[in-house]
Structure 1
Amino acid sequence: MQPYNPAEEIVVIVDRDNQPIGAVTRKIMRQQRLIHRASYILVFNTDGELYIQKRSRTKDIYPGYWDLAAGGVVLDGESYEESAKRELREELGISNVKLRPLFDQYYEDATNRVWGRIFVCTSNGPFTLQEEEIDFGRFITLGKIEHLNQVEPVTPDGMRLLQRLPR
């Protein structure tokens, strides 16, 4: 059996209106900067702090950045909700939480074009981190994220969604 290769995952490709138009490998999606879908799950503890993750240096986008959300690309044939549940299980090892959708957002920069659906859930852990994707994680108050981004990079799509969160 061949080892798992994220570059070979088949992801849904969408247009600017978030309508599906096809499916390609993650590698082709990144190479051609195609618009795709992703789930973003904000994990808060019962004290209202957000769990953030330090992305591994091997990630295909924003390696070594702090990520405000668990989540990832929506695979072909998968809904945003299914993606969110799968990603929470894979990245943080949690599956017994209620997901609440907050909003959809389009984000674009020089390397990434994505329609994301942002979810929120509550969990105090413990978390089992996916070592291929996450180096470590910690809880932080929302008010400290701007300062963190001045010292260490936070994913730009995460910073965009932070601006839309109610405080």
Structure 2
Amino acid sequence: MALDEVVALYDADGEVCGAAPRSVVRADNLRHAASSVVVRDGVGRVYVHRRTTTKDVYPGLLDLAAGGVVLAGEDPADGAVREVDEELGVHGVPLEPCGVQDYADEVTRYRAFRFVVTWGGPIRWQPEEVSWGEWVTVAELVRRLDKTPQDLVPDSVAVWGPLVRSWLDAPA
């Protein structure tokens, strides 16, 4: 990750309305876009990973999605492909779009472009962003959402929670 990438800014209607350096986006909590990719395996488990303690947003928390800011001029789907490869080494497989979801809190405001990917290869962590990870069943992930939500990245819980819960009754 470049320290001061230029990030696409998005308006309330979900349209690109400008660009700003990442440092400004973070400092002023500007509305932007981000990719959010849930990685599943062939039996339907979900890969969860611990964010490093040096992350600029939600350091040290458990995340159920890989992803990051959409860069200026970047298509959100291309950003998703880039981010899931950088963070977890997932590449060369199609991402399935799962719609968009807006999120805002006192730390970040963005439009999440959500994707799911099925991956059967090895996971390779980006050391600057991921400290460890594991495959968990959907039932285990939902248990964590219910019992220890404070341990999970709040934006991923918000934008993915309802869909993840719907997977409990769905075939893999």
Does TM-score exceed 0.5, indicating one fold? Answer: yes
What's the secondary structure of 1:116's corresponding residue?
strand
Residue of structure 2 in register with 1:98 after alignment:
94
- 2:162 is the counterpart of 1:163: yes
The Cα shift of 1:74 comes to 0.4
Which SS does the other structure have where 1:120 is aligned?
strand
Superposed counterparts of 1:95-134, under 5 Å: 95-134=91-130
| Runs of 4+ residues over 3 Å off in structure 1 | 149-152
Q: Give deviations 1:40-90, integer Å, cap 9, x for gaps.
A: 111100110000110000000000011111111000110111101111211
| TM-score normalised over the length of structure 2 | 0.89
Distance, in Å, in 2 between the alignment partners of 1:120 and 1:164 is 11
Does residue 1:138 correspond to 2:137, yes or no? no
Question: Structure 2 counterpart of 1:164, which letter?
Answer: L
- How well do the aligned residues superpose, as a CA RMSD in angstroms? 1.4
Aligned residue-pair number = 163
In structure 2, how many angstroms separate the alpha carbons of the residues matched to 1:143 and 1:109?
27
Q: Distance in 2 between matches of 1:164 and 1:48?
A: 13
Counterparts of 1:156 and 1:142 in 2: how far apart (Å)? 18
Structure 2 counterpart of 1:120, which letter?
V
Give, in whole Å, the separation in 2 of the partners of 1:5 and 1:114: 19
TM-score (normalizing by structure 1) = 0.92
Query: 1:16-165 residue pairs with structure 2 within 5 A?
Result: 16-149=12-145, 150-151=147-148, 153-160=151-158, 161-165=160-164
Q: State the secondary structure of the residue aligned to 1:47.
A: coil
2-side partners of 1:146 and 1:63: how far apart?
A: 21
Amino acid at match of 2:163: R
C-alpha distance in 1, partners of 2:49/2:93?
A: 18
Distance of 1:5 and 1:117 partners within structure 2: 21
Equivalent residue letter for 2:157: M
Question: 1: distance between equivalents of 2:163 and 2:122?
Answer: 28
Shift of 1:146: 3.9
